[in-house]
Every structure is written in C-alpha cells, then in structure tokens.
Structure 1
C-alpha cells in the first residue's frame, strides 16, 4: 500500500508539473512571443519550448522514483536510465530544431544566397545526434560516456569508411562556400551528370539542379570539387549574353567588285562611309604603284564589303551591346566553305529574348547576302541531285531532237 500510494503521489506530482509547464509557463511564453513582430519565428520558438516542457515531469519522476519504498533496485535503476534517455532525446530534438530555426533566420539575409549554411547546419545536427547516441548508450549501460568515447579510437577506421561521403561532402561544402563557387539560383552545366539548369538547393550531401525541362538532377556535393562544371553566373551578372555563330559562305561566290556594283552598294547608308574610305585607300595605292595589269591592282571584294556591312548593321542595332567585344571575322576556310563568324553580345540574358535577337540577325543576313553576290554553302541534298538529273535528261532530249530539226531545215 505504501508503494502504491507513493507511486500515485509521484504520478500526481509529475502530472501537476506537466500541467503547470504546458498550461501556465508555455501559454505565457507563447503569449509573449505573439506580441513580437516575428510571427513565424514565434511559432518555431513555441514549438521548441513545448518540447522542452516535457523535461520537467521527467526530472520529477527521475528524482522521486528512488524515494518510493518497496521497489526493486533494478526497477529503480531502469526507470532512472529511461528518464535520462527521455531527457537526452528531448534536448537533442530541441537543439536540432534550434539549429534549423537559425538556418531559416539566416536565409532571410540578403547575402544568404551567396553563402548558404545549410550544409554546416546538417553537420552540426549530425554531431548532435552522434553525441546523443553516445549519451543514450551510456545511460542505458549505466556507464560513463568517456568510457564509450575511449573505445571509439579503435573504430575510427570503420567510422571513416562509413562516413566517407559525409566527410567528402563536408570538405566540399567548405570549399564551395569559401570560394563562392555555386549559389542557389545559379545556372550551372555539368554534361557528365546530365545537369543543365538552375541550382535550387545546396545541402551537405547533394546539390539539386532543376533542368530546363523541369526535371531534377541530384549531384553529390563533392563532385563539384572533383570534376569540372560551368557556372553561367558571370553571364547573368554582366547583363549580356554572347552571340557567336558563323555563316558558311560558298568560296566560289567570292570575287572582286566592279564599278556598277560599287555604285549599287553606295545606296546602303551603312556602307557609304566604308566605301568612300576604302576607295580612297585603293586609289591612292594604285596611283603610287601604277600596276600594269588589272590583276596586280588593289580592288574591293564582295566578301570584304559584306563583312563591313555586317559590322555596321550590328553596330546600328539597339539590342547589341556597344560596350562589349564586337567582331566580324573570317575563320580558316575548309571543305564546308568560308566561315564568317559574328562575335557580339546581346543586351539581355533572358533566354527567349536572346534567341529572338540572334534569329533576327541571321534572318536578315541570310536574306541580304545574295545582294552582295554571295551564296551560303550547304551540302547537296536529294532535291539537288534530282534537279541535276532532270537537267541532264532535258539536255539529252534536246540533243536527240537536234538532227531531225536540221534535216527538215535542209529540205526546206
């Protein structure tokens, strides 16, 4: 009867402490937090305080179980160890929730995207759980935690093998954060892992990339250190995106310009200054050297004039950046023709607008190229061979009809 009454009294005391902690202390804390302007943070802090309130009745049970008469010593030790485990787990969950709250508060900073701490928070949570596991084992075994820690030295190799990825990811997270290699929102490209899109999350073990087809690629964090990848942040911050594409010109269509063609090109307002300057240079050189043959004289070419037109056309476009590199250059000729490459920067980084600007430029250049007597080189297709075969058949038919027509003319 004494044991039962003592247990009942202990249960009532624990229940009363739980009621006081939940109904009075917790409500008072929540009411005070509700008066602050930080409503979201108040909810998180309230959840942490509610979790900590479970410690008070557990401490009362742990301290009062030894005062109950008639209980076996083993049962008292078990209850004491169980209460210690509950207290350790409660503190562990509260501490990890506090770390998560700290990470959420940090993410509201303006520079949080540049230096995320989510990986460090995950490492801290991992250390807290590891320490909690050691303390729980020590409480259940009724041994000192230092005794368990001394045995971990022999397990260091096993632990390093088990947590190999975690260690690599931790080192990679430190290097990524210190060197500012990747931020949330960056467009990165990693062909080996089929990743080409925006970074949406940087954690301890993984980096999530949302590709442009809306699929998600998960990259191990340490792969960003051990392998190369492309970060397009510099392009986004510069405010312009590069246009680098070549027109393949048929080399058989390149030639000198005559006076009639020069007069025709003078109608182009963007070419008048170029033609006047170049003609003066050519005339001055020819007068100074007095070439005997026309082949020895300097003359303007349709390709050079077209290159000057392309450069002037790009300079006149308002959507092409004039403060960045702007080139129209010839590359080495090959069996595919003469490459005339355009190297410029659009004044936007928006993908759709960039593609429209690039398409407008080459639509115009492809359409106006015949005005300069130039042709685009492309490999012959089936329709080209069919046209050539048809032309040969018509020529053969004309040759067969030719003798008959000649004999009829003689008879007449």
Structure 2
C-alpha cells in the first residue's frame, strides 16, 4: 500500500512539473513584457500572437516538408511500379491532401498552449479546425475516388461503364454527411441527435435532390440493362442528339454530335423516352444499306427476242438470261403457247432482268459483306413509281466510307437503267414544261 501511494505521489509530482514547464514556455514572452512594464492584458495578447505566429510558421514548414517527402516517395514508387494507379494518385493530388493531416494534428495539439489565456478563442479555433478536418477528409476521399475513376477508365471492362455516376453519388452522400457533421460540431449537438432533428425536413431534401435521385436510379438501370455505354453512337430526336456518348454522369449524358456540338441529355430521359442506339450495327459484321430506286411504271415491258439478245451482252447476267430463256422457251413450246403476242405464256421483263442484275452486281461488289443479307426487292407501286429496294450490308461500317460505298452503288445503278429501257421517276420541273412548249 505504501508502494502504491509512493507511485501516485511520483506521478502527481511529474505532472505538476510538466505543467510548470509548459506554463513557463507559454508565458516566456508574457513574463518578459510584464518585467519591462507592459500591462498585463497587452502582454497576454502579444504573447498569444507570438505563439500563434510561431505555430503557423512551424506548421507551414512541416506541411511543406511532408508534402515534398510524400510526393517524392510516391514518385519513386510509381517509377518502379508497372501499373499506372500510383501515377494517377499523384495526378489527383492524393499525396498532397494526405500530407495536410499531420500538420492539422500538430495544430490541434498545440492550440491549447497558444490560447491558454483565452479559452473562448481556443474553443472557436478548435471548432474551426474540426470543421476543416471534415473538409480535408472529404478532399482525400474525393481525390481517391477520382483516382479510382480514372484507373477504371483505363481498363477495357470498365471503360464504357458510367463510373462517374457512382462516384458522384458517393460524393453527394459524403458531402451531406460532412455538412451535417460540421453543423453538429458548430452547434454542439451530437451527430445522431442532429440527424434525427432533420427527419422532419426529409421531404424538402428529397425535393431539392429530385433530379439527383432520378439520375441515380436511371444510371443504375442504364448500367444494369447495358442500354448505353461511353463511345456508343445514339440518336435522340427529342433532344436533337445524333453522335457519340462521351460522358455519363449522375444527372446528364453528354453526346458529341457529328458536327462537333455537344448535346446534354438528362440521364433519366434514357429510361423514360425512346432513343436509338447504333451499337448493334457497330458490333455487327456490316452496316445496312436500305434504299430504293423509284422506277417509272410506263417503262416496264416484256422483252422480245431482239431485246433479250441485246441484254445478253451484259456479262453479269448473260448466263442467267440464257438459262431463263431456255426454260421459258421449253415451257412455252410444251404448252403450245402462241408467241405472236408477247403477253401469252411466260416472258422476261426489263424490270425483272434489271432486278436480277442488281442482285448479281451486289454479290460481286468488293465492299458488300457476302455473308449477310443481299437482296433487291420490288415494293408496292406508289404514285411516285415502283420502288426497287436494295437491301445489303457494307463491310466497312465507318460513316464516311459507308456513304461512299452506297453512293457508288447507286451511281452505277442509275447509270445502268437506260440499258434496260427503264427510267427513274421524278416530278416535272419548270424546264420540263418549257421543253414541251
């Protein structure tokens, strides 16, 4: 028992000695100023200012040294590492933000010594530093999340995913918690009690963050259903968007149109409205060509023997014409068809032969994918003639080359029409009426 009492006395003596030393260090300038005749109040203020300036200078020096040290350490590690994650940590200033933590802890430790004679000032400064600690924590978290986002964008499996949306959602909740924590510190109310008191205002919070909540739900659905990826070509007529998706965030989707303008679309519009995603085309083996030539109906006719012989000179369909001519002749002879009138029996038509020519031309065209659908079909006649539609797929899916291929095909077919005694239908112009007069 005597040994225990002795130990307690030693501890008390030691604490009193340390307190005396600390008081002497805190009041060295105060003691000097009082000794030279300065008033007690002024001496306390000057002593506090001197200690505060000394602490600020010390903290800035320590902060500078730690920042340089951590940045150098991370740079060396990044130079030796094969991954670029550590490089992104430096780019997003993670070491710099972490370096502020130690100076902040030192400041919190020495603040009571600086404001030993001004407890009211001490409480204000400590509260401000506590709020700054929350902000610094949010900075560190944000820089880490931006690093993760940038790193995922370099990975093929995550490159087209809306990572930015999830980062924004997390940061919104982090900022809300940070703001509530700061208010709780400033007001002196415990955090959970402060949150409970805000329950009545939850409806207002939901109203304020309505677009954010809708965007969050939409971004999750877009990601889960794989509706849109970064890099997809989409057409959204309601918003005048026609181009590539360059960014998917919590509230908006940015589309760079082909004229290099940027269209911003609300994220929730992707699940509430209809739009066209061209990804299926770009990931397939070809891009569809679906366009029709309107043939003037008055030019369609049966082919007599002279016309058939003339068309045999077209190499792509010469064998087809010979084969079909033999079949037709055999059929007509076996059924004793009177061919003094072309209408009787079976016959070739210029439109039918031209349709076969289109089919043969497409199948030998170097830019057409032969493994996908190739078809020339006749649609129902209209007031603008008989639509003869070409349905095929170009091997090259790039827009510029695709347009060139399609134009090349139709240039050839339009120029080939006169060889089959066919014409393109077009409405008469002023020059047509003048020539008739």
How many residues are treated as equivalent by the alignment? 387
Question: Is residue 34 of structure 1 aligned with residue 80 of structure 2?
Answer: no
For 2:292 and 2:59, the matched residues in 1 are separated by 80
Determine if contact 1:115/1:177 at 8 Å carries over to the other structure.
yes
Could you say if the C-alpha distance between residues 61 and 8 of structure 1 is closer, same or farther in structure 2, counting changes exceeding 3 Å?
farther
Unpaired runs of 5+ in structure 2?
1-29, 32-43
Q: How big is each residue's C-alpha offset from its partner over 1:168-211, in whole Å with a ceiling of 9 and x where there is no partner?
A: 10011111111221112111101111101111111111111111
Matched with 1:317 is: 365
Matched with 2:430 is: 382
User: What SS is found at the alignment partner of 2:290?
Assistant: strand
Q: How does 1:164-183 map to 2 (within 5 A)?
A: 164-183=210-229
Q: How does 1:7-406 map to 2 (within 5 A)?
A: 8-9=50-51, 12-13=54-55, 15-23=57-65, 25-35=66-76, 36-37=78-79, 38=84, 40-44=87-91, 47-67=93-113, 71-292=117-338, 294=341, 295-389=343-437
Could you say if the C-alpha distance between residues 65 and 277 of structure 1 is closer, same or farther in structure 2, counting changes exceeding 3 Å?
same
Could you say if the C-alpha distance between residues 21 and 65 of structure 1 is closer, same or farther in structure 2, counting changes exceeding 3 Å?
closer
Determine if contact 1:18/1:54 at 8 Å carries over to the other structure.
no
Cα distance, 1:271 vs. partner? 1.0
Query: Scaled by the length of structure 2, what TM-score is found?
Result: 0.83
Cα distance, 1:252 vs. partner? 0.8
For 1:159 and 1:64, the matched residues in 2 are separated by 39
The farther-off stretch of 26-35 and 88-97 is 26-35
Determine if contact 1:208/1:217 at 8 Å carries over to the other structure.
yes
Cα distance, 1:43 vs. partner? 2.2
Unpaired runs of 5+ in structure 1?
390-412
Could you say if the C-alpha distance between residues 386 and 64 of structure 1 is closer, same or farther in structure 2, counting changes exceeding 3 Å?
same
Determine if contact 2:62/2:103 at 8 Å carries over to the other structure.
no
User: What SS is found at the alignment partner of 2:436?
Assistant: helix
Q: How big is each residue's C-alpha offset from its partner over 1:106-155, in whole Å with a ceiling of 9 and x where there is no partner?
A: 11111222323111001111111111101111111112111111022211
Could you say if the C-alpha distance between residues 69 and 277 of structure 1 is closer, same or farther in structure 2, counting changes exceeding 3 Å?
closer
Determine if contact 1:34/1:42 at 8 Å carries over to the other structure.
no
Cα distance, 1:7 vs. partner? 6.4
For 1:131 and 1:303, the matched residues in 2 are separated by 75
Could you say if the C-alpha distance between residues 132 and 12 of structure 1 is closer, same or farther in structure 2, counting changes exceeding 3 Å?
same
User: What SS is found at the alignment partner of 1:154?
Assistant: helix
For 2:170 and 2:115, the matched residues in 1 are separated by 43
Determine if contact 1:59/1:83 at 8 Å carries over to the other structure.
no
Cα distance, 1:6 vs. partner? 6.3
